[in-house]
Amino acid sequence: MAVPVAFFGVFFAYPVAAITARGLKADGVWRFGRIADVLGQSDIRHVLWFTTWQALASTALTLLVALPGAYVFARFEFRGKQILRAVVTVPFVLPTVVVGTAFLALLGRGGLLDELWGVRLDTTVWAILLAHVFFNYAVVVRTVGGLWSQLDPRQEEAARVLGASPFAAWRRVTLPALGPAVAAAALMVFLFTFTSFGVVQILGGPTFSTLEVEIYRQTSEIFDLSTAAVLTLVQFAAVGAILAVHARTVRRRETALRLVDAGATARRPRGAGQWALLAGVLGSIAVLLVLPLAVLVERSLDAPGFGYYKALTRNEGSLFLVPPIDAVGNSLRYAFAATAIALLIGGLAAAALTRRDTGRLGRLVRGFDALLMLPLGVSAVTVGFGFLIALDEPPLDLRSSWILVPLAQALVGVPFVVRTMLPVLRAVDGRLREAAAVLGASPWRVWREVDLPMVRRALLIAAGFAFAVSLGEFGATVFIARPDNPTLPVAVARLLGRAGDLNYGQAMALSTILMLVCAVALLVLERLRTDLRSDRTGEF
Amino acid sequence: MSTRSAKSAKSNIFRITAVVAAGGLGLAALSACGSSDSGSGDEGSGSKTVTLVSHDSFAYTKDVLKAFEKESGYKVRVLKDGDAGQAVNKAILTKGNPQGDVFFGVDNTLLSRALDNGLFQSYEAEGADGIQARYRVDQDKHRVTPIDSGDICVNYDKAWFSEHKLAVPTSFDDLVKPAYKDLLVTENASTSSPGLGFLLGTAAEYGDKGWEGYWKKLKANGVKVVDGWEQAYNEEFSGSAGGKKAKGDRPLVVSYASSPPAEVIYADPKPKTAPTGVAEGTCFRQVEYAGLLSNAKNSKGGKALIDFLVGKQFQEDMPLNMFVYPVIEGAKVPDAFTQYGPAAANPETLDPARIADNRDEWVKTWTSLVLK
């Protein structure tokens, strides 16, 4: 427990506190009056209002689109399901620079909607909402679908036999069991959309601003640290509240459900209605998720003979000192390091959280569970600038060290590791450990021979997720000064920042490569997951 | 990215994570992680490593920097610290304990923020007398040295204008004429540096109050504002490579004078003429400076590096790497530049002090005038 706490203390809490304090303190005096000042401005209140309502609307829309998807993935067996499950997760780990470009191609001028019906949604709030659905579809499908697939369909069938209508059976039997999972997914989507940054900036145009965008502008462009600090505190409070509620629903979800093997509940669709549902879900995935990705691929191939891909291997124009393709290697190395860190920290945290102590210590430990998620809800610019002023003295002068990049990525990866590992670790029968200990095994040996074999698969899945998330991580990476070893998302952003056909094409080609690497990682994960059968792994 | 930085850390937590990271990776992979620029060498005073902090657009030819290293005996470490604004802000935040010795990339729109915050110490570069007089600033204290200049100008789509048989605009005044209604896309002045440059250009042309009236007319004439240069140039503008694919429908965009040469240089096959041009009379001049950071650990090395930055070799290396123009007399500019995108003849300029006094207020006014 001490290690994860220290990790979050040093690499998250301390930097964030340092930059916030810098903003709120002038000449050694705290200026809490600034809070009222800032919150009194009508601009800021407008930002707060927009942040909240777009997050609510995005969450509702995501649930509306993704819940049928969750059902289809949970209950139906169809060809290509594994691949499709990986595909719908790709957007979740893609950097927003890439997605913004893809989405403009769908909703903007000359996009599909424009060509079919002459409708353009770019710079409207609809573009933001739809992109949020695109990003968070997987959250709902994985969280709700994961549980749904493990609910015993016989319970619903029993209700039908007893005379309940299909709807009544669903409402009275399945929905209550599913409720906490839906609530947990909704809260996660709300969290991600409440703190949305890239999507709002790229698709919304300058007229829309969320809290996170405003923090970025105040810190990075306007350099008004005190306003940024106040906004950071506001966002912190909001995210903390969301996470507290989330922690409660998750705990409710983990109790008192009779679950069955997911493999046994899915079957081929029957009847026109079910086929239509399947077709509808596949259609919505095709339009909302696959199409934007396909546009990127199409544009990356828009030069004869894979011209853009070939250009990636040349060292021309020296925007980077190395051929852009080297960014792939950089990204992989960083992601490996980040995964190792996330596994260590997340694994230790999950192990500590497994102890079902009651009393104050137990409650404290469970509170830490929620705290681990905080980095997902805190602005990357805050963390990045915080690193700069907090980690500047030996022994922790890490400011320009390469390790800062995987550390920042690991902050985002840890929550996923914990979420995946926790249910599995909790399912390990404590008596097994006790028996081993009684027979003379050291704690290390108990862990190695009892826990490890049972959680190995879950560990791999956690690693896969941490890896994919690290690959796509853009925010914190871009705010860290480093010698020139750009990661894939950073390289894409820089190529997009330059005029000229080859730069644009190479950005598209690199995005496609990033997408493929993520997709492969996620597909391997799917394989593992379906092999798992009897094991239970958590979802975020 | 050597393992040295990992070894030097004292903290336990860090050591554990580093060891695990190394274990997970294989040490071989780790040490292969770009053995070139980072962390090698000591950082004490009189050290042989000199660190340059810059923004993400900083680029150079490897051999040119190698030549400096060979000649001076210093090893150069380059840190890229975000976009231009971020890099400056971060440098100010860390000025008590800077990340490097020299900072390059503060431009005239942010210069006073850097100077007022005491970011730099005085140093007059050797060879500073070769810098063209119009670029010189801070002549009494010599805290910064101009390194490059560029022009922010309206670019036009040649094909569109010839197809529509419309004359190309040649002044700010033209842009508000009915003939050019709904043709221009620009960037948010509060978040984008070309966006801000264009606003400052209009302020220079029409004066402290006059620019507001101009922007009212521009808005009435259908100017479109997007958040960043990338969206404006790659998505909305009809003349750029990206914009063509995105079916951009604005034939006028606020970009750089060096964008047309980039459209040629980064095309394959290369066209005979640039597909885009620069609307003369709509330009604002941007100058980038370098300075020796206050509290620099290796100030001697830093001075040598600044001398090198205004040296002829680096000055002539810049254009094709960063798409900017040299500032010293007699530096040669590549043919592609003179051919496809000559520097503006009479760009608008503003005194950095005047920018400092007004920038925040102007941007605020502009935001409520144009965006709300």
* pLDDT for residue A76: 87
Q: Which of B6, B17, B371 sits opposite A207 (nearest CB)?
A: B371
Q: Which of B11, B37, B267 sits opposite A501 (nearest CB)?
A: B267
Query: Does B320 lie in the same domain as B367?
Result: no
Query: Does B297 lie in the same domain as B191?
Result: no
- C-alpha dihedral (A92, A95, A99, A101), degrees to nearest 10: 180
Query: In this prediction, what percent of chain A has a pLDDT beyond 70?
Result: 88
Query: Does B291 lie in the same domain as B274?
Result: no
> B243-265, pLDDT tens digit by residue?
887 788 899 999 999 899 888 88
A500 to chain B: which residues are within 8 Å by CB? 241, 262-263, 265-267
CA of A338: which chain B residue's CA is closest? B21
Report CB contact under 8 Å: A479, B371.
no
CA A371 to chain B, closest CA, distance in angstroms equals 19
Does residue B343 lie in a domain region? no
Report CB contact under 8 Å: B80, A299.
no
> d(Cα A189, Cα A59) in Å, to the nearest integer?
6
pLDDT(B32) > 50: no
ipTM of predicted assembly, 2 dp: 0.74
B278 to chain A: which residues are within 8 Å by CB? none
Does residue B341 lie in a domain region? no
Enumerate the β-bridge partners of residue B292. B102, B121
A204 to chain B: which residues are within 8 Å by CB? 227
Report CB contact under 8 Å: B268, A303.
yes
* pLDDT for residue A144: 85
Interface probe with B: pick from A44, A387, A401, A417, most Cβ of B within 10 Å:
A401
Q: Does the beta carbon of A417 lie under 8 angstroms from any beta carbon of chain B?
A: no
Q: Does the beta carbon of A5 lie under 8 angstroms from any beta carbon of chain B?
A: no
> A212-221, pLDDT tens digit by residue?
888 888 888 7
* pLDDT for residue A178: 83
* pLDDT for residue A253: 55
* pLDDT for residue A295: 82
Count Cβ atoms within 10 A of the Cβ of residue B345 and give its class: 0-12 exposed, 13-18 middle, 19 or more buried.
Answer: exposed
CA of A223: which chain B residue's CA is closest? B89
Query: Does B61 lie in the same domain as B21?
Result: no
Query: Does B225 lie in the same domain as B352?
Result: yes
Q: Does the beta carbon of A206 lie under 8 angstroms from any beta carbon of chain B?
A: yes
* pLDDT for residue B8: 32
Count how many domains chain B has. Answer: 3
DSSP string for residues in A69-86: HHHHHHHB--TTHHHHHH
Q: Could you give all domains of chain A from N- to C-terminal order, each with its CATH number?
A: 1-31+301-540 (1.10.3720.10), 33-298 (1.10.3720.10)
> A44-88, pLDDT tens digit by residue?
899 999 999 999 999 999 999 999 999 898 888 888 888 888 888
Here the CATH number for the domain that contains residue B113 is 3.40.190.10
**Contacts of residue A190, Cβ cutoff 8 Å, sequence gap at least 6:** A55, A56, A58, A59, A242
Report CB contact under 8 Å: A402, B38.
yes
Neighbours of A283 (CB within 10 A): 10
Query: In this prediction, what percent of chain B has a pLDDT beyond 70?
Result: 87
Report CB contact under 8 Å: A389, B265.
no
Q: What's this model's pTM, rounded to 2 decimal places? A: 0.80
> B43-80, pLDDT tens digit by residue?
444 578 999 999 888 888 889 999 999 999 999 999 88
pLDDT(B39) > 50: no
Q: Is the peptide bond before B260 cis (omega within 30 degrees of 0)?
A: no
- pLDDT band at B3, cuts 50/70/90? very low
CA of A326: which chain B residue's CA is closest? B34
- Choice between B169 and A496, residue whose per-residue pLDDT is larger: B169
CA of B241: which chain A residue's CA is closest? A501
**Which residues numbered 65-84 in A keep a CB inside 8 Å of some CB on B?**
none
* pLDDT for residue A362: 63
* pLDDT for residue A261: 67
Query: Does B365 lie in the same domain as B232?
Result: yes
Q: Which of B79, B255, B360 sits opposite A482 (nearest CB)?
A: B79
* pLDDT for residue B313: 94
Amino acid (1-letter code) at residue A540: F
Does residue B312 lie in a domain region? yes
Query: Does B352 lie in the same domain as B235?
Result: yes
Q: Which of B21, B59, B249 sits opposite A341 (nearest CB)?
A: B21
Does residue B272 lie in a domain region? yes
Query: Does B110 lie in the same domain as B139?
Result: yes
| Residue B95 three-state SS | coil
Does residue B247 lie in a domain region? yes
**Which residues numbered 355-374 in A keep a CB inside 8 Å of some CB on B?**
none
| Residue B257 three-state SS | coil
Q: What is the maximal distance between C-alpha atoms in chain B?
A: 71
> B332-358, pLDDT tens digit by residue?
988 888 888 776 778 898 888 888 889
A299 to chain B: which residues are within 8 Å by CB? 245
Among the listed residues A108, A100, A153, A157, the one whose alpha carbon sits nearest the alpha carbon of residue A131 = A100
**Which residues numbered 9-68 in A keep a CB inside 8 Å of some CB on B?**
10, 22
Q: Which of B9, B90, B234 sits opposite A395 (nearest CB)?
A: B9
> B259-315, pLDDT tens digit by residue?
998 888 888 778 888 899 999 899 999 999 999 999 999 999 999 999 999 999 999
Q: Does the beta carbon of A524 lie under 8 angstroms from any beta carbon of chain B?
A: no
- CB distance A486 to A494 below 8 Å: yes
Report CB contact under 8 Å: B1, A402.
yes
> B76-108, pLDDT tens digit by residue?
999 888 778 888 988 998 888 898 999 999 999
Q: Does the beta carbon of B90 lie under 8 angstroms from any beta carbon of chain A?
A: yes
Is beta strand B145-157 parallel, antiparallel or unpaired with respect to B284-293? antiparallel
Amino acid (1-letter code) at residue B349: T
Q: Does the beta carbon of B318 lie under 8 angstroms from any beta carbon of chain A?
A: no
Query: Does B52 lie in the same domain as B162?
Result: no
Query: Does B326 lie in the same domain as B239?
Result: no
- Choice between A86 and B171, residue whose per-residue pLDDT is larger: B171
**Which residues numbered 278-317 in B keep a CB inside 8 Å of some CB on A?**
none
Query: Does B69 lie in the same domain as B11?
Result: no
Query: Does B312 lie in the same domain as B272?
Result: no
Report CB contact under 8 Å: B34, A222.
no
Give the structural domain span for B9: 1-35
**Which residues numbered 376-405 in A keep a CB inside 8 Å of some CB on B?**
385, 388-389, 392-396, 398-403
Phi, psi torsion values for A25, nearest 5 degrees: -115, 130
For chain A, 540 residues long, give each residue's pLDDT as a single digit of tens.
778 888 888 889 999 999 999 888 877 778 888 888 888 888 889 999 999 999 999 999 999 999 999 989 888 888 888 888 888 888 887 777 777 777 876 777 666 677 777 777 777 888 889 899 988 998 888 888 877 887 788 888 888 898 888 888 888 888 888 887 888 889 889 988 998 887 887 777 777 888 988 888 888 878 888 899 999 999 989 998 888 887 777 666 555 556 666 666 777 888 888 888 899 999 988 888 888 888 888 888 887 778 888 888 776 554 555 677 788 888 888 889 999 999 999 888 888 877 655 556 666 666 777 778 888 888 888 888 888 888 877 667 777 677 888 888 888 888 888 877 877 777 777 788 888 889 988 888 887 888 777 777 778 878 887 888 888 777 777 777 566 677 888 888 777 777 777 788 888 888 888 888 888 887 887 777 666 544 455 554
Task: Please state, rounded to an integer, the average pLDDT across all residues of chain B.
Answer: 84
